[in-house]
Amino acid sequence: MGQKSCGGTMGGQIVMITGSAKGIGRACAEAFLQQGAKVSLISRTASEMESTAKELLRMFPGKVSYFCGDVSSGEVVSKWFEKTRNDLGEPTSLVNNAAIFTNKKVQDQSLEDWEKVLRVNLTGSFLCAQQFFKSPSPSTVSRSIVNISSLAGIRGTEKFPGLSSYVASKFAIVGLTEALAVEGKALGIRVNCIAPGAVDTEMLRQAIPSMRAKAVPSDIAKIAVFLCNEKESSVLTGSTVEVFSNQ
């Protein structure tokens, strides 16, 4: 992919994206960069994060900052926000995308298995949102958070065995989104959620090998850009966009 835009619809924006070394997170980084934003990325896998960041920096010089660490750690999240401010400036948007899963039936899970998924998927999103809420508000720029849930976290959709902790975490992300949206109003922060169905990612192939997905990460990234664009989505907060695709 080549650099497509230096001043698109997100010019002047600084977007922080978790779980951004690959998959939906990386696609979000590319989409925001194409629309003129600067991005700050984080992943716990250093080799993948460094490779992705270097590739993006070649295409978008000076517009990418990155950090390696686990968002379930409050100390890591605090350091990531500090580095973002030093490298790029005050963040205007946050995409909480980082997620893991444990494919074990309930009777086979340890408490550690359960808590590990909740720490990354839910607590990590809370910690990042908390830091974002504490950040000084740029006077001329609206702010936005987009949380990535899943159709697995929506009532009445199909669920799969072995993913109870993942499903619980994604239901909780929808609830967290609605709660943050209420508190964010006073701070001028809109908070919305995307609940994708099957998306062609490495994570899906590991979790449900038999499933074939029509949607690709860039499809979800386009929605994230829309939700962070004040001109296009200013009336939306506390909303969840459910993404069904033909499979």
What is the spatial distance between Cα 217 and Cα 210, in angstroms, rounded to a whole number?
19
pLDDT at 245 (0 to 100): 76
Q: What mean pLDDT value characterizes the chain?
A: 91
> Taking Cα atoms as reference points, which of 62, 28, 61, 82 lies closest to residue 199?
28
Give per-residue pLDDT as tens, 191-247.
999 999 766 566 655 656 665 657 678 889 999 999 999 999 999 999 999 998 755
Q: Exactly one of 166, 167, 224, 237 is catalytic; which is it?
A: 166
166 noted as active-site residue? yes
Check pLDDT > 50 for residue 1. no
pLDDT at 216 (0 to 100): 78
**231/176: higher pLDDT:** 176
Domain count, the chain: 1
pLDDT at 8 (0 to 100): 81
Partner residues linked to 192 by β-bridges: 146
- Is residue 6 domain-resident? no
Most confident of 132-141, 159-168, 209-218: 159-168
Per-position DSSP letters for 140-164, written without gaps between them: T--EEEEEE--GGGSTTS---TT-H
- Is residue 234 domain-resident? yes
Mean pLDDT of 7-29: 92
Strand order in the sheet with 38-43: 64-68, 38-43, 14-18, 93-96, 143-148, 189-196, 240-243
- Is residue 43 domain-resident? yes
What is the spatial distance between Cα 143 and Cα 229, in angstroms, rounded to a whole number?
9
Give per-residue pLDDT as tens, 82-123.
999 999 999 999 999 999 988 899 999 999 999 999 999 999
Query: How many other β-carbons are positioned within 10 Å of the β-carbon of residue 72?
Result: 23
- Is residue 1 domain-resident? no
Domain residue limits at 116: 14-243
- Is residue 3 domain-resident? no
Residue 127 pLDDT level (bands cut at 50, 70, 90)? very high
- Is residue 7 domain-resident? no
- Is residue 181 domain-resident? yes
Check pLDDT > 60 for residue 6. no
- Is residue 26 domain-resident? yes
Mean pLDDT of 165-174: 96
Residue 26 · residue 94 · CB < 8 Å = no
Percentages helix, strand, coil for the chain (3-state, rounded to 5) are 45, 15, 35
Q: What is the CATH number of the domain that holds 55?
A: 3.40.50.720
pLDDT at 72 (0 to 100): 98
pLDDT at 125 (0 to 100): 99
